[in-house]
Amino acid sequence: MTKRYWQKDIETISRRSLEDLQVKRLRSVFSRLYRTVPNFQSKCRESGVKPSDIESLKDIVKIPFTTSEDLRGGYPDGLLAVSRDKAVRLHTSSGTTGKPKALFFTKKDINQSADLIARCLTMTGTGSGDVLQNMMTYGLFTGAMVMHYGAEKVGALVIPAGPGSTERQVALMKDFGTTAVHILPSYALYIATFMARHGMDPRKDLSLKRAYMGAEPYSEKTRQKIESIYGIDVYNCYGLTEMNGPGVAFDCMERSGLHLWEDQFILEIIDPATGQQLPDGEQGELVLTTLCREAMPIMRYRTRDITRVKPGKCPCGRTHRRISRILGRTDDMFIIRGVNIFPQQIENVLMGIRGVAQNYQIVLESLDDITIRVEIASDMFDGNIERLLAIKKEIIEKVRSSVLVRPDVELLEPGTLPVADGKAKRVIDERTL
C-alpha cells in the first residue's frame, strides 16, 4: 500500500494542539529575532511591541509587517538571525527593480524545507519507484533545489533536467519513464505543442502520472487543459523564496485547496489596503510568518499573493487549513476604465474557448484599452476565415462579460509568443503615466 502521510502525527494534529504549538513557536522565534537582529528590534520598538506582549495567537497583529522592501533593505545579511558560519546555503529572489532579496538556510532549514516537500509528494502519491523530472531552474532560484531535496527524501529518482531544451526533455521522459514532473504551466503547454508538431501524443508516448505546478499563477481551466492533453493529474504547489521556496502549501489528492503547513507557518489573510485581518473565506493578501526557520525567521511577510482560506475540514484527514489557488498578485492587478482586473480572469476565459492555444499576452496601451494577443491552436485551423473571426468574436464577448471591458483581440500563429525559461510574462504595460 502506498504511504499516505510523511509525518502523520503533525499532518493530522488536532487544531487545538496545532494552535498551542504555534503560540509556543511564535513566542520563541519572535524573542530570538528581537534579540539577534537590531533592525528588527528597532522596528518593533517603533511599533511599541516587545517579546512579553505576545501571549496568544491574536497578539500577532501587534507585530509589524515585513515587506519585500524590508528584505531588500536587509541585503546582503542584515536580517540574518544566526552567525554567518551556521548558514550552509544562499538563495536569492530575483528583483525586477533594485537589489535582490537574499535568503540564508542552515542545515536544519534545508532539512525542514525538504520535509515539507516530502509531505507534499507523499500525499499526492509520489514516492520510491517514481521518476521525477525537475524542469525548474536550478541555481539561485529556490524552485528546483528545494523540490529536488524533498523528492530524494521520499525515494524518487530525480532527473535534474532544469528548463528548456525541449527535445531533450521529451527524450528524457521517454527513455527513463518519467512519472512526475515539476514544471511551469506555460512550459507544460509548450512541450505539448512541441510534441504534437513532431507527431507525438503525450498520452501514448509518455508514462507521466502527475505534474506539480506552481511559481506562476494559472487558472483552473489551464489545469484542466493540461490534464486532458497529458492524461495526468496536476497538483498545485505554492511557495516563495522568502518562505523556503515550494512546499509552503500544496494540493492533496482531493485537490480542493492547498494545505498550508501551519506547524511551520502562521497564515493570515489581510485586506491589502488597510492591513486588517480578514475572516476565513474572504479574499485578501496572504501574510506568512515562519515558525521554525533558523537562519532567517520572517515575521508577517506580505506575500502580495491574493487568495482566501477555504473553510471546512478536508476529507484527506489533514488538519492544516487550505488556501485557494493564487487568484492573482496585488502587483499584477491592473486597472482599465476604473475596473480592477487580474490576468487570471482573462486566462480563465481564454482557456475555455476551443481553438485557442496555450499562450497569451495582455497588452495595455492606454488607461482605456486592452489588447489580448492569443495563439490559435494549429489543429483548429481549417483554412476558413469565418471560423477564425468567430473565435475572435467569442473571445471579445466572453472577456467583456467577465471583466466588463471590451478588449481588442489579435490572433497569432502558434508558438510565436515568447516562452521564457522563467515565468511567462503575461501583461505588457506600454502605458506611460
Partner 1 sequence: MKVKQISVFLENRKGRLYEVLNVLATEKINIRALSIADTADFGILRLIVPDPDAAKKVLEKGGFTVKENNVIAIEVPDRPGGLSFVLKALQDCDINVEYLYAFVAKSQKDAIVVIRTENNDGALKALKHGEVKVLTPEELYGL
Q: Can residue 201 be called a binding residue for partner 1 (CB under 8 A)?
A: no
Q: Which is nearer to partner 1, 393 or 423 (CB)?
A: 393
Minimum Å gap between C-beta 357 and partner 1 is 10
243 versus 370: smaller Cβ distance to partner 1: 370
Could you tell me where the beta strands, DSSP code E, fall in 39-94? 87-93
The torsion angles phi and psi of 380, rounded to 5 degrees, stand at -95, -10
Fill in the DSSP letter of residue 275.
-
Closest CB to partner 1 among residues 282, 365? 365
Among 46, 167, 382, 430, binds partner 1 (CB under 8 A): 382
Of the residues 21, 82, 333, 388, which one makes contact with partner 1 according to CB under 8 A:
388
Q: Residue 254: what residue type?
A: E
Given a contact cutoff of 8 angstroms between Cβ atoms, the answer to whether 253 and 234 are in contact is no
Could you list the beta-strand ranges (E) of 18-86. Answer: none
Task: Name the residue nearer to partner 1 (CB basis): 334 or 381.
Answer: 381
The residue from 384, 430, 432, 433 that contacts partner 1 (CB under 8 A) is 384
The stretch near partner 1 (CB under 8 A) out of 2-10, 79-87, 208-216, 375-383 is: 375-383
- DSSP H helices, 207-356, are 220-230, 343-350
The least distance separating partner 1 from the CB of residue 379, rounded to whole angstroms, comes to 9
Q: Does 378 bind partner 1 (CB under 8 A)?
A: yes
| Cα distance between residue 39 and residue 55, in whole Å | 23
Pairing of strands 356-364, 370-376: antiparallel
Interacting residue with partner 1 among 85, 383, 432, 433 (CB under 8 A): 383
Nearest to partner 1 of 42, 384 (CB atom): 384
Beta strands in 225-311, from DSSP E residues, in sequence order: 233-240, 245-251, 258-260, 265-270, 284-290, 301-307, 309-310
Phi, psi (degrees; rounded to nearest 5) at 345: -65, -40
Helices (H) and strands (E) in the chain, counts: 12, 21
Alpha-carbon torsion angle 402, 404, 405, 409, nearest 10: 20
Site track for partner 1 across 400-419, x = CB under 8 A: ----------xxxxxxx---
Site for partner 1 in 45-104 (CB under 8 A): none
137: alpha, beta or left, given left = phi > 0 and alpha = psi -120 to 50? beta
Residue 128 touches partner 1, criterion: CB under 8 A: no
- Residue 104 grid coordinates: 540564508
Output the smallest distance, CB 141 to partner 1, in A: 30
Minimum CB separation from partner 1 for residue 135, in Å? 22
331 near partner 1, judged by CB under 8 A: no
In the complex, which residues of this chain contact partner 1 (CB under 8 A)?
A: 197, 376, 378, 381-385, 388-389, 410-416
